[in-house]
Copies of this chain bind each other. A is one copy, B any other.
């Protein structure tokens, strides 16, 4: 059994905090680099330089350049999930919750530089989305089923299809479609998929979109 003396515990705690702080600085540096210079500009040396840590230290935290890019994207997606949770908590109508969430998802995906082409190029977008927002989508769809608002034979597949369809809608946008129109149509089609009749899906997808609230930065 490990030595659990208070002094040892304090040392371990300090070391852990220091490690978390170094990891955070690396991820923040990678995010800045990604936002300002694009995916090609993110290299291990650009990240360690931005974080002001020794280059060799990088490998104590991440296996590769791609691994830290994944971490940046994962955090961005998870953050969006938390903001959507904050926005929709307490809203009464599952269809409206789903529609608002989809429109913000699409808007964020095409306006935040960490998202966009990066995700489509890396091919990791879908996994990341499923892992972070998938359970939330399944939860929101299930609430709709339980309240009789949605008629969905299989919540899990419908939730997954939400994210594949997002990648398609993002690509359409990036090829020149208007952002609001893309987000509205995306929500409208997925409301239909959830069993909302077409005229009602049309109306719900065009309701005024409340802004996303900020959330505290609690990602380690």
Which residues of A are in contact with B by a Cβ distance under 8 Å?
A: 120-126, 130, 151, 153-154, 156-158, 160-169, 171-172, 177, 182, 185-186, 188-190, 192-195, 197-198, 202
> Given contacts A120-B126, A157-B185, A198-B151, are A167 and B169 in contact (CB under 8 A)?
no
Report Cα–Cα, A115/B156, bound state, in Å. Answer: 22
Q: Is the CB of B124 within 8 A of A171?
A: no
Q: Across the interface, do A171 and B123 meet the contact criterion of CB distance under 8 Å? A: no
Q: Is the CB of A158 within 8 A of B126?
A: no
A192 proximity list for chain B (CB < 8 A): 192-195
Name the 7 nearest CB pairs between A and B, nearest first: A123-B123, A164-B168, A164-B164, A160-B168, A161-B165, A164-B167, A161-B168
B172 A168 Cβ-Cβ under 8 A: no
Q: Is the CB–CB distance between A172 and B156 below 8 Å?
A: yes
If the complex has contacts A123-B124, A126-B120, A167-B167, are A172 and B188 also in contact, measured as CB distance less than 8 A? no
The reply to whether B189 and A158 form a contact with Cβ atoms under 8 Å apart is yes
- Which residues from chain B contact A124 at a C-beta distance below 8 Å? 123
Are the CB atoms of B122 and A171 closer together than 8 Å?
no
Q: Point out which of A156, A164, A197, A198 has the most chain B C-beta atoms below 10 A from its C-beta.
A: A164
- B198 in contact with A195 (CB, 8 Å): yes
Q: Which residues of B contact A198 (CB under 8 A)?
A: 151, 195
Q: Which residues of B contact A166 (CB under 8 A)?
A: 164
Selected contact of A122 from candidates B123, B163, B169, B202, CB within 8 Å: B123
Which of B122, B151, B158, B169 is within 8 Å of A164, CB to CB? B169
Q: Can you give 20 contacting A-B residue pairs, CB < 8 Å? A: A121-B123, A123-B124, A123-B125, A126-B167, A126-B168, A153-B185, A153-B188, A153-B202, A156-B172, A157-B177, A157-B186, A157-B189, A158-B189, A160-B168, A160-B172, A161-B165, A164-B169, A192-B193, A193-B193, A197-B197
